[in-house]
């Protein structure tokens, strides 16, 4: 896996990916960030990589100038993998926070983790069979963790139907084999 752009452009993360983790492929990540460049300036944003797996979406955001990224995964091996990647890249410890929680717990407790800040960008890539995305979108609204005009990038299988939320505008959807990326903006 390689970092596509920014401070660590071209750097590779070559550690062995722990079993059970499905990384977002380089081509899909490149497409996601090409689309995001039309909607967001990465300088000084705060983001969360929820169900982070390898953490490559959050690492890419840091490489492009994000001020802070929260990496959330309930799998201890995923958190260790992300920590090793961040150490390899020599990322300053104030630029990220690793949190071993499930997605729902993180969103419900975000205000205790960071009481004064909202997120500008959320990546979420839960296990496809978990069907969590609609619940996560609803909880981000209920808990007021996403800033005005904040962006959510949701990866799911192609058959997942997102509930139409009056709080979100779907900016685009793209299909990659059995995967689908939906990019939404908070209204």
List per-residue pLDDT tens for the chain, 187 residues long. 899 999 999 999 877 888 888 888 888 999 999 999 999 999 999 999 999 999 999 999 999 999 999 999 999 999 999 999 999 999 999 999 999 999 999 999 999 999 999 999 999 998 887 778 999 999 999 999 999 999 999 999 998 888 867 899 999 999 999 999 999 999 9
Please give the pLDDT value at position 164: 67
What is the C-alpha separation between 88 and 9, in angstroms, rounded? Answer: 14
Domain membership flag for residue 14:
no
Domain membership flag for residue 20:
no
Please give the pLDDT value at position 168: 94
Domain membership flag for residue 119:
yes
Domain membership flag for residue 152:
yes
What is the C-alpha separation between 138 and 135, in angstroms, rounded? Answer: 5
Please give the pLDDT value at position 62: 98
Domain that holds residue 143: 26-186
What is the C-alpha separation between 101 and 6, in angstroms, rounded? Answer: 29
Domain membership flag for residue 33:
yes
Please give the pLDDT value at position 107: 97
Please give the pLDDT value at position 24: 84
Domain membership flag for residue 8:
no
Domain count for the chain: 1
What is the C-alpha separation between 104 and 7, in angstroms, rounded? Answer: 31
Domain membership flag for residue 47:
yes
Please give the pLDDT value at position 19: 86
CATH code of residue 133:
3.40.50.150
Domain membership flag for residue 11:
no
pTM for the full predicted model: 0.95
Which residues, other chains included, contact 28 with Cβ-Cβ below 8 Å and sequence gap of 6+? 155, 176, 179, 181
């Amino acid at each position: 896996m390689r970092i596509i752009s920014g401070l660590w452009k071209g750097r590779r993360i070559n550690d062995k990916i722990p079993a059970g983790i499905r990384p977002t492929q380089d081509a899909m990540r490149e497409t996601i960030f090409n689309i995001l460049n039309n909607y967001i300036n990465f300088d000084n944003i705060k983001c969360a990589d929820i169900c982070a797996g390898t953490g490559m979406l959050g690492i890419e955001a840091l490489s492009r100038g994000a001020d802070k990224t929260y990496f959330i995964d309930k799998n201890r091996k995923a958190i260790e993998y992300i920590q090793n990647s961040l150490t390899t890249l020599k990322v300053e410890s104030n630029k990220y926070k690793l949190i071993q929680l499930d997605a729902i717990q993180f969103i419900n407790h975000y205000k205790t983790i960071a009481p004064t800040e909202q997120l500008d960008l959320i990546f979420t890539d839960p296990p496809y069979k978990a069907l969590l995305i609609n619940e996560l979108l609803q909880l981000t609204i209920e808990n007021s963790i996403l800033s005005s005009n904040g962006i959510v990038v949701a990866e799911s299988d192609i058959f997942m139907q997102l509930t139409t939320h009056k709080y979100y505008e779907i900016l685009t959807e793209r299909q990659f084999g059995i995967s689908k990326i939906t990019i939404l903006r908070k209204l």
